Amino acid sequence: MAIEPWPRRADGEWLIAARPLSQVVAEVGGTPCYLHDRARIDARIDLLRQSLPNGIRIHYAMKANPMPALVCHMASRVDGIDVASAGEMRVALDSGMRADAISFAGPGKSEAELAQAVAAGILINIESFRELALLARASDTLGIAARVAVRVNLPFELRASGMKMSGGARPFGVDAERVPELLRQIGERQLGFEGFHLFAGSQNLHAEAIIEAQSRSFDLVTGWLDQCPSSPRILNLGGGFGIPYSAHDKRLELAPVADQLAVLADRCRRELPGAHLALELGRYLVGEAGIYVARVIDRKTSRGEVFLVVDGGMHHHLAASGNFGQVIRRNYPVALNRRTGMRETVSVVGPLCTPLDLLADRVEMDEAEPGDLFVVFQSGAYGRSASPREFLSHPDVIEALV
Ligand SMILES: *Cc1c(COP(=O)(O)O)cnc(C)c1O
């Protein structure tokens, strides 16, 4: 089954961390809320550790879910945290993760952010020649050599990816053709060169596409070894491991990806001694461990169609409404927290005055009444922090780790 089922009682009550959902909702202060299941996150990390060859480092890309308690939970379980702003860097440092295992990527890093990162001793993935100049200045001022890696805009795309972030003209990283020049300047300015960051794209469910991107990334780096100011110590191969969001999606097969990573790890030992391979994963680690829960406020019939109006919506969960970069809107897996014996086709909408505020479009569910809890699964990543929470000035959403 593509979407792993959560445990459920005979009466339809879902269980989270072995407790009835309605009890957990009452504990956190009601709806709407996000609930993230620590045990599910741990199970996912265990699965990866068991499947991947030894020595592959697993980083958490915290933009997927920057909730501080969750980042703290990750800190003792992953090998590194990847941040995309000074704000995220703060949370990552607070989490207890060692500074030398934190890396910073993202276009448009400000001078202040770069200086903060140098002072903290975290690894900076350089995305432009401008950043290079600012890092050299920050290094001088602080008397600390900036630790840098080169983020490469690869000369190819990650095929069949939900979000492509490499190949062609992109605002991310430095074009592969200009990497030799960047390496030369890193050497000239005596920054602390550590390696490469090669992130091809996101939300990919095709093992062959991931394998191809990782192999080609590795080959590309081997072609630059002569030009590196010092031997690379880290090869961050990105990730892009996707999760199924609907019954149409086929789960990513880990075994072939792991086999190919074993080949690359072997090549890494021979061709780049002293370097290690890392993956940076966001949604794959946390996406399937979180649910969004809202309460049915109203039940309306309009020209023969039933609408459930709930107390949450796109302002908390933009992705479930289909407005977070999706080309085609597809329903997330959803359910009621009760078995009522009668099924019906309904649309579930939020309280915002816009037709975009649609959490489920004509789905079959148990017949609901006002007061019922409505659950959206696969909601652990790109939820609260990726949503326009101010839009229409409704209350913010509660988020808890259970
Ligand atoms: C967004 C992002 C990630 C995480 O992507 P997921 O699809 O959540 O795994 C990792 N690395 C970089 C550079 C990113 O921008």
- Pocket of ligand 1, candidates 45, 60, 63, 83: which has the most ligand atoms within 8 Å of its Cβ, to mutate? 63
Q: Which atom of ligand 1 is nearest to the CA of 202?
A: 7
pLDDT score recorded for residue 247: 85
Q: Which residues of the chain have pLDDT under 50?
A: none
Nearest Cα to 240, choosing from 199, 286, 208? Answer: 199
CB-CB contact of 352 with 312 (8 Å): no
- Pocket of ligand 1, candidates 153, 280, 382: which has the most ligand atoms within 8 Å of its Cβ, to mutate? 280
Q: Which atom of ligand 1 is nearest to the CA of 203?
A: 7
In this structure, the number of other CB atoms found within 10 A of the CB of residue 112 comes to 11
CATH architecture of 15-36+288-401: Beta Barrel (2.40)
Long-range contacts made by residues 74-81, C-beta under 8 angstroms, separation at least 24? 74/41, 74/285, 74/286, 77/41, 77/42, 77/45, 78/45, 78/285, 79/278, 80/278, 80/280
CB of 105 closer than 6 angstroms to any ligand 1 atom: yes
pLDDT score recorded for residue 99: 98
Which residues, at least 6 apart from 206, have a Cβ–Cβ distance to it below 8 Å? 159, 160, 252
**pLDDT tens sequence across 90-119:** 999 999 999 999 999 999 999 999 999 999
CATH architecture of 105-281: Alpha-Beta Barrel (3.20)
How far away, in angstroms, is 286 Cα from ligand 1 center? 12
pLDDT score recorded for residue 51: 97
pLDDT score recorded for residue 327: 84
pLDDT score recorded for residue 163: 75
pLDDT score recorded for residue 211: 96
Q: Which atom of ligand 1 is nearest to the CA of 281?
A: 9
d(CA 232, CA 80): 17
pLDDT score recorded for residue 86: 97
How far away, in angstroms, is 160 Cα from ligand 1 center? 16
**Pairing state between β 290-302 and 373-376:** antiparallel
Altogether, the residues listed in the chain come to a count of 402
Ordered by start, the domain boundaries in the chain are: 15-36+288-401, 105-281
Nearest Cα to 185, choosing from 247, 227, 215? Answer: 227
How far away, in angstroms, is 40 Cα from ligand 1 center? 20
- Quote the Cα angle for 132-135-139, to 5°: 140
In this structure, the number of other CB atoms found within 10 A of the CB of residue 47 comes to 12
